[in-house]
């Protein structure tokens, strides 16, 4: 039995709450336990045999100090977690840890915690200590932080240990996040649609706010806090000006109130032209005093509504969004305009480096962001953080790291990852992104010699940056399972865990997610983690092997489109042929000194490695080099043979995933089993479509025979080119123009 006691506190007279009450609540939720709603916070009963290894008696929960909303949330989570985990164990009084209590609280509010000398100074404002110790003769567990949110994070960590069956009887854990701001970027529009969202509509119900606060908001906040996410940008980077109107500010304030106890701050994407569209000024020029005054007043209004408002995210001068260049100003002048309005409130500007619109004549799109920002190093205000995508192009299945990492020692730099799988099969494909995120973080920029990884740039250890941050474009929507599929949840999870600790292992994170989401049975965990770890390479193989990129259909970005060529409505650097550069002689984009020389944007040792055909990683070969079809790879195969075999290998990997999953039915509830099995079948179909269409297209250019044993695509190239999907989730507005009559459908 779990008792909650409130003692050693200044204000406390809280009656004990009994387990029964919470058990009833848990049972009510149980009917929906297998629909994915509970994510990794399922708190399934721990087997009695496992518990038997620990000492037994009733568990008391003892909050120390003032019971703030955050500590209340921590207590509620402990009750919920322990109730579920102890659940229907035959001996209901068997407990997890001790013959005593779980004490939790914030050192500032609790003399008792301070007296325990837990070494809290080392864990900073967001970390925690979990320690098993003996106090007044009682064996207890203490979960402590320097702030309430630190305690909340500690509570989730403690519960995770139980969920993953890690010992909890002799704990001495102490940790702090390596990155200060760990943010989810929602690309949600105010009309409820989600740009590149594949999990239903927006979870923010603007028409219901501020009067009705869906309980989903709280469950969302719990999930975020459980992995340490502490910021949410509520709206799309292609921002609507309405978000800055008083009507929406009251709604935003209501959401902020729900998220606040979980340590989550809200941020807004704003359009650069807001002074004109919202403020009715004639200009948005950053050097115009009227514009500066307008932003100052607007920011003041926001902070009156949301006192802990986080700041702005800005997409400027990109894909048609307005920006400072229109006024002949630099990106730094634009960013500082907002930064100065926010500075009195300690607000941040996350200014995106995804800028390329104004240089449409550039010989290489991937060079533009570096060319624009590198000369501005040192010109940004302290509270500006430059938000840089992991690669220099645009969230492709594989890209080299962005050359701005390491190249701007006097500028705060943050990493932007895409959790939603826009370019990796979208809703239905099983692609675990932990490995992609890990690659991005571990990439070595060599900016200060070996070991100058992207992780060290963004965690501040390379250049002493104070405001450190990371963002992930969210994959969360109104679907009951939040992310459109069960396995997509693992990408939200992995993002949060790597944001907390960019040195963590994608493999370990996958294993913990599987254990919490499904079961601890190793007969299930091992093969499923194996599938997840191989899944990203599979999608690279069947879509963009050997360093190809951006070969997808236009607009929807769903399905193959290697034939997409520049045209009246297709700028060259949005087309596929611009990137593949495939011709009768060969394939690949020459980015060496003889080509666009994008390689020169990297530090010398990296540039030398990429430039050398001997040393360039094979999985980035065609990103950096244009090579003849007959070029021999290290395996001895020709480039043509190898390319074709990658497409085939990708499909084979998906077939293997399907077969693996098919054998796992005994370990999963039927509902989640069937959903995943059906989605894997869809993925196999899509992988074959990619393989066949890509082979058909590139063969029409190379005019070479297929390698032995590879079957010819079942359709002619024309059929693949004509196949058209008019609507795809996540592409609000029109998809490609499809003739609705009898366009041929490939097998």
Q: Of the two residues 210 and 572, which places its CB atom closer to ligand BDP in the complex?
A: 572
Q: Of the two residues 106 and 369, which places its CB atom closer to ligand BDP in the complex?
A: 369
Q: Please select the residue that binds ligand BDP; options are 158, 186, 395, 661, rule is CB under 6 A.
A: 395
Q: Which long-range contacts (CB under 8 A, 24 or more apart) does 674-680 make?
A: 675/36, 675/485, 675/486, 676/430, 676/485, 676/486, 676/487, 679/428, 679/429, 679/430, 679/485, 679/487, 680/430, 680/654
Minimum gap (Å) between residue 423 Cβ and ligand BDP:
7
Asked if 394 is part of the footprint of ligand BDP (rule: CB under 6 A), the reply reads: yes
Beta bridge partners of 185: 233, 473
* DSSP state string for 111-144: HHHHHT---GGGGTTT-EEEEEEEETTEEEEEEE
What is the rounded distance in angstroms from the CA atom of residue 559 to the CA atom of residue 727? 12
Q: Of the two residues 273 and 453, which places its CB atom closer to ligand BDP in the complex?
A: 273
Mapping DSSP onto H, E and C, the string for 420-479 reads: CCCCCCCCCCCCCCHHHHHHHHHCECCECECCCEHHHHHCCCCCCCCCCEEEEECCCCCC
What is the rounded distance in angstroms from the CA atom of residue 335 to the CA atom of residue 364? 25
* Residue positions annotated with a catalytic role: 319, 394, 422
Asked if 573 is part of the footprint of ligand BDP (rule: CB under 6 A), the reply reads: no
Q: Of the two residues 140 and 404, which places its CB atom closer to ligand BDP in the complex?
A: 404
Q: Of the two residues 422 and 439, which places its CB atom closer to ligand BDP in the complex?
A: 422
- Going residue by residue from 271 to 310, which x/- string records binding to ligand BDP, judged by CB under 6 A? ----------------------------------------
Q: Of the two residues 422 and 715, which places its CB atom closer to ligand BDP in the complex?
A: 422
The encoded tokens of residue 180 equal 């200060």
* DSSP state string for 326-362: GGT--HHHHHHHHHHHHGGGT-EEEEE----GGGTT-
Asked if the peptide bond before residue 210 counts as cis, ω within 30 degrees of 0, the response is yes
Q: Of the two residues 22 and 187, which places its CB atom closer to ligand BDP in the complex?
A: 187
Neighbours of 680 (CB within 10 A): 23
- Going residue by residue from 155 to 194, which x/- string records binding to ligand BDP, judged by CB under 6 A? ----------------------------------------
Q: Of the two residues 353 and 538, which places its CB atom closer to ligand BDP in the complex?
A: 353
Minimum gap (Å) between residue 295 Cβ and ligand BDP:
22
Q: Please select the residue that binds ligand BDP; options are 38, 180, 260, 315, rule is CB under 6 A.
A: 315
Q: Please select the residue that binds ligand BDP; options are 238, 301, 330, 660, rule is CB under 6 A.
A: 238
Structural contact between residues 182 and 229, judged by C-beta atoms closer than 8 angstroms: yes
Q: Which of residues 630-689 bind ligand BDP (CB under 6 A)?
A: none
Minimum gap (Å) between residue 394 Cβ and ligand BDP:
4
Q: Please select the residue that binds ligand BDP; options are 354, 380, 446, 518, rule is CB under 6 A.
A: 354
Q: Please select the residue that binds ligand BDP; options are 109, 148, 195, 715, rule is CB under 6 A.
A: 195
The encoded tokens of residue 742 equal 């009898």
Burial class (CB in 10 A: 0-12, 13-18, 19+), 714: exposed
| Cβ-proximal residue to ligand BDP, closest one | 394
Asked if 196 is part of the footprint of ligand BDP (rule: CB under 6 A), the reply reads: yes
**Among the listed residues 304, 298, 234, the one whose alpha carbon sits nearest the alpha carbon of residue 264:** 234
What is the rounded distance in angstroms from the CA atom of residue 456 to the CA atom of residue 460? 6
Minimum gap (Å) between residue 468 Cβ and ligand BDP:
21
Minimum gap (Å) between residue 196 Cβ and ligand BDP:
5
- Could you tell me how many residues of this chain bind ligand BDP (CB under 6 A)? 10
Q: Which of residues 421-480 bind ligand BDP (CB under 6 A)?
A: 422
Q: Please select the residue that binds ligand BDP; options are 101, 237, 249, 430, rule is CB under 6 A.
A: 237
- For ligand BDP, the binding residues (CB under 6 A) are 195-196, 237-238, 315, 319, 354, 394-395, 422
């Amino acid at each position: 039995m779990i008792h909650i006691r409130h003692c050693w506190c200044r204000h406390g007279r809280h009656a004990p709450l009994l387990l029964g009450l919470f058990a009833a609540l848990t049972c009510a939720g149980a009917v929906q336990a297998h629909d994915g709603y509970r994510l990794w916070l399922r708190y399934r009963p721990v087997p009695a045999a496992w518990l038997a290894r620990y000492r037994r008696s009733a568990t008391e929960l003892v909050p120390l100090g003032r019971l703030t909303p955050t500590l209340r949330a921590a207590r509620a989570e402990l009750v919920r977690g322990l109730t579920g985990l102890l659940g229907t164990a035959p001996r209901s009084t068997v407990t997890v840890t001790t013959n005593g209590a779980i004490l939790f609280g914030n050192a500032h509010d609790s003399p008792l915690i301070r007296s325990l000398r837990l070494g809290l100074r080392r864990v900073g404002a967001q970390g925690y200590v979990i320690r098993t110790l003996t106090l007044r003769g009682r064996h207890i567990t203490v979960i402590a932080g320097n702030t309430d949110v630190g305690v909340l994070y500690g509570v989730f960590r403690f519960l995770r240990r139980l969920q993953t069956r890690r010992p909890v009887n002799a704990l001495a854990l102490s940790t702090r996040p390596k990155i200060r701001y760990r943010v989810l970027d929602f690309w949600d529009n105010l009309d409820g649609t989600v740009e590149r969202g594949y999990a239903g509509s927006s979870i923010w119900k603007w028409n219901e706010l501020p009067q009705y606060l869906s309980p989903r908001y709280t469950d969302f906040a719990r999930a975020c806090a459980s992995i340490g996410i502490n910021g949410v940008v509520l709206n799309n980077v292609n921002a609507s000006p309405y978000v800055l109107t008083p009507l929406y500010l009251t709604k935003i304030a209501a959401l902020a109130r729900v998220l606040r106890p979980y340590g989550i701050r809200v941020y807004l994407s704003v359009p650069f032209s807001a002074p004109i569209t919202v403020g009715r000024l004639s200009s948005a020029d950053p050097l115009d005093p009227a514009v500066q005054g307008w932003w100052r007043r607007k920011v003041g209004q926001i902070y009156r509504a949301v006192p802990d408002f986080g700041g702005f995210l800005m997409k400027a001068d990109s894909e048609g969004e307005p920006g400072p260049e229109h006024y002949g100003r630099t990106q730094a002048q634009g960013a500082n305009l907002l930064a100065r309005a926010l500075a009195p409130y300690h607000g941040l500007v996350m200014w995106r480096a995804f800028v390329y619109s104004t240089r449409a004549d550039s010989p290489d799109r991937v060079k533009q962001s570096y060319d624009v920002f590198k000369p501005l190093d040192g010109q940004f205000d302290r509270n500006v953080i430059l938000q840089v995508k992991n690669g220099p192009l645009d969230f492709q299945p594989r890209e080299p790291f962005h050359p701005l990492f390491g190249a701007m020692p006097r500028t705060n730099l943050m990493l932007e990852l895409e959790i939603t799988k826009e370019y990796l099969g979208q809703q239905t494909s099983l692609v675990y992104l932990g490995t992609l995120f890990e690659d991005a973080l571990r990439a070595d920029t060599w900016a200060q010699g070996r070991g100058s990884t992207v992780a060290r740039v963004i965690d501040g250890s390379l250049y002493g940056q104070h405001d450190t941050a990371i963002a992930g474009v969210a994959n969360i929507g109104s679907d009951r399972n939040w992310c459109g599929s069960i396995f997509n949840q693992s990408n939200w999870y992995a993002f949060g865990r790597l944001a907390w600790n960019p040195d963590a292992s994608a493999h370990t994170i996958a294993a913990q997610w599987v254990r919490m989401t499904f079961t601890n049975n190793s007969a299930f965990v091992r093969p499923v983690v194996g599938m997840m770890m191989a899944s990203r390479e599979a999608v690279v193989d069947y879509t963009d092997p050997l360093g190809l990129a951006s070969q997808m259909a236009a607009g929807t970005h769903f399905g193959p489109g290697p034939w997409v060529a520049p045209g009246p409505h297709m700028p060259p650097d949005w087309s596929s042929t611009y990137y593949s550069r495939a011709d009768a002689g060969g394939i690949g984009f020459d980015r060496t000194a003889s080509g666009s020389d994008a390689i020169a944007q990297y530090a010398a040792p990296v540039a030398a490695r990429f430039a050398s055909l001997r040393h360039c990683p094979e999985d980035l070969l065609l990103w950096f080099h244009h090579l003849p079809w007959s070029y021999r790879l290290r395996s001895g195969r020709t480039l043509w043979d190898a390319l074709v075999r990658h497409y085939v290998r990708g499909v084979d990997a998906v077939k293997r995933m399907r077969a693996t999953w098919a054998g796992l039915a005994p370990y999963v509830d039927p509902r989640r089993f069937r959903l995943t099995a059906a989605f894997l079948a869809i993925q196999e179909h899509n992988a074959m479509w990619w393989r066949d269409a890509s082979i058909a297209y590139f063969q029409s250019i190379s005019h070479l025979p297929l390698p032995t044993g590879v079957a010819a695509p079942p359709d002619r190239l024309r059929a693949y080119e004509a196949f058209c999907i008019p609507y795809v989730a996540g592409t609000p507005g029109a998809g490609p123009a499809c003739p609705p009559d009898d366009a041929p459908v490939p097998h």
